[in-house]
Amino acid sequence: MNKLNDERKKNLESALFEKGATKKFLSDINDVQELIFLINLLNERSDKNVGFNIQDSSESIYKHLIGKLSELSECFFIADASTGGLLIKDNYADLFTCRQFAEDAVKRYSDMGVKCSVFDSSEYKGNIFEYLYYLGIQYLMIDCTENTYSIAVKRNDILSNSKIRKSAECDIDNPSLRFSISNFYCSLNHKESFGIDDKKLNNLQNLMIYYTANAQYIVPSKRDSEDSSKLIMAKTVLENQGELLTVFTDKPEFDKSYSDEWEYIVLDLEHVLQSAVAGNCNGIVINPSGERLSLDRATIAHIIKTAKTMTFKA
């Protein structure tokens, strides 16, 4: 963790305002906190005549910052105890460049009544920014805690959607659905702590209904070993809910839980409901190792009906 003391800040400021954010100047700066400090400094001076183009320098520093973020070997997030997923606040997920910053944020959230913990990116086996894509995370707040410099960035700037590696055999993904689920339940569970009113909560619920109704789902299936004409679909048993048809939003979530012996079919929600009824399932569970959202048959039917009457486009 870089100790960005007053002397270092003074030296950075002096070097920056001598010639602007030149390539040579940036080549000597590798610390994220220092880069965020410089961007904030330029924002404060945006109305001053400093002898160079502030916007160009700010864009150069931001680009350099994005490069450093993409190269992080380890970073830290906040896991929400109430959902099991990342904590979402104001459409942002927190990203921290060192564990101490993340632990400070956990304490701050805990003081607000939000139970949470640090999630280390090393716990995920793969590109963490690809993982964020599938979760639907579009905006990241970098190093936002007391006594640090913070900045909001787009996840797409760090790893663009065009560079996301997808399964050649199945390109189904539902990042908007996954984010709408996490965003709604984080907002619902922390309504008072985050100061969320009923109107906003209702809007978030409508978004979740819209995306749930309009998604395509991956449903694990395989042929019956004794009767190949019969198709067996995977079921999950949840306490007090009985058997639920298991469905997934994307191939990475499917791959978490099912071996190569399982194939899959892709269904819309209406056909998912029909399959649940045919299989004597009480409902469905979406991403049992992720969001773990369970919906009974009546709720699914209500979602389908409600979505058809929605006049907005998400």
* CATH 1.10.10.60 for domain 76-163: no
> What is the biggest distance separating any 2 CA atoms in the chain, rounded to whole angstroms?
80
108-150 residue pLDDT tens = 999 999 999 999 999 998 899 999 999 999 999 999 998 899 9
Q: Closest by alpha carbon to 271, among 241, 231, 242?
A: 231
**Residue 78 β-bridge partners:** 118
Cβ of 299: how many Cβ atoms within 10 Å?
13
Does pLDDT of 12 surpass 90?
A: yes
Mean pLDDT score across all residues of the chain: 93
Instruction: Report the pLDDT averaged over residues 190-200.
Output: 97
- In order of 50, 140, 256, the CA distances from 6 in angstroms are 21, 27, 48
Q: Closest by alpha carbon to 4, among 105, 154, 150, 152?
A: 150
What residues does each domain of the chain span? 6-66, 76-163, 180-308
Does pLDDT of 314 surpass 70?
A: no
Separation CA 280–CA 16 (nearest Å): 68
293-308 residue pLDDT tens = 999 999 999 999 999 9
